[in-house]
Structure 1
């Protein structure tokens, strides 16, 4: 299997070349095109009840599509996300995991597992939702977000504006707080921020849908 990311950072998509007998998993409606001989089957996202929970609380689809190559030649699948923005690929070893904000997952190798984990009310106040997605290896997976994606090494604490934290490894402590005092938080336009504490690499997005909506409302 060969995966190539294209169109970064504004309009990211990926080409997946499947060798004979290989398969790939993608979010519902993520397929842009595929070879005519490729097979596609829709399955529940981790079973009916888990899939329903992911749809209701983690921003994922109830179904995922499984693509397979039944031929004796290489076939191509092209996958994208439903909005403009950047995409990134990561590979996890067996036993490794990573956390993502709801709706960030796009596609993965079949060996990758997706689970829903309680994130806490601090995450909800920070605009990230009550649940988060846990990605378990082994295998490669691709995720994306509106705007560009930035890798940031953290060794201590980092303050992140709400809606800008995309993914992070386990072991991080995340709390939501006012950006300053009560008056300055209200008048500065920053409101709540997220305090990220730990050691490792986190992924941030340069834009947010909440920021876009606020800009449109101010200028219409």
Structure 2
């Protein structure tokens, strides 16, 4: 199987070593460098229907890059669109992951990143892909990226964990989650609205169950320039 390594401390690269005939796929434009034995081409992975669903879910290109070791062993360097850290996740039969907007970087050919329907709350509120979100299934390595630093939380069944909507990168698909507003402690729905506005906290995701949640330190919506 291809070997995935994160190299560099600040805005790291994803270094992938492939043996002859191995292949990976990655987000469009992620390839920075590759050796001559490798070949890169655009693929409408999963066909037109799934490509269109990915476009709706993540605003990604219809095409993803496929890097294939056709001429022998070779290495490549990949980089995410936004500056920030990279996390490697192991996808398996009991370890699928749901991905937030723009978090996918690369994966083994044995991993399938496919669209599925979001929860009603997640569909009505932004940041988690709307009504269609992406899920990584199959078996192999999955590389996700976040804006800023990355930290992986272990969610336990005996406690609910609340995460700002704009800081969630990926999470175990087996977790139960709800998208809403942070608890104000009192005042009912109106008090919650007022507290959300005055505290500066927008939407949050409430996780329950057992699994992992990858979070990033920066909120990319706050770094956008003024509307043109």
Q: Would you say 1:177 and 2:180 are equivalent positions?
A: yes
Residues 177, 42 of structure 1: alpha-carbon distance in 2 compared, 3 angstrom cutoff:
closer
Aligned to 1:25: 25
Matching of residues 1-220 of structure 1 within 5 Å: 1-8=2-9, 10-72=10-72, 74-94=73-93, 96-123=95-122, 124-125=124-125, 127-130=127-130, 131-155=132-156, 156-179=159-182, 180=184, 181=191, 182-213=193-224
The CA deviation at 1:140 is 0.9
TM-score by length of structure 1 reads 0.88
Are the structure 2 counterparts of residues 95 and 60 from structure 1 closer, same or farther at C-alpha, using a change threshold of 3 Å? Answer: farther
Q: How many angstroms apart in 2 are the aligned matches of 1:106 and 1:191?
A: 26
**Shift in Å, 1:116:** 0.7
1:46-78 deviation line (CA, Å, top 9, x unaligned): 111110110122333211122122234x21111
State the 1:171 CA deviation: 2.6
**Change in CA separation of 1:26 and 1:126 when aligned onto 2, cut-off 3 Å:** closer
**Structure 1 outlier segments of 4+, above 4 Å:** none
Consecutive unaligned residues in structure 1, runs of 5 or more: none
Tell me, what secondary structure is at the counterpart of 1:203? strand
Is the contact made by 1:152 and 1:202 (CA closer than 8 Å) also made in structure 2? yes
Q: Which SS does the other structure have where 2:49 is aligned?
A: helix
Q: Distance in 1 between matches of 2:95 and 2:200?
A: 38
TM-score (norm 2): 0.85
- Match of 1:146, SS state, is coil
Aligned counterparts of 1:59 and 1:149: Cα–Cα separation in 2: 22
Alpha-carbon contact 2:99-2:135 (below 8 Å) kept = yes
Aligned residue pairs, count: 213
Equivalent residues of 1:126, 1:194 under 8 A apart = no
Q: Indicate the RMSD between aligned Cα atoms, in angstroms.
A: 1.9
Structure with greater proportional strand content: 1
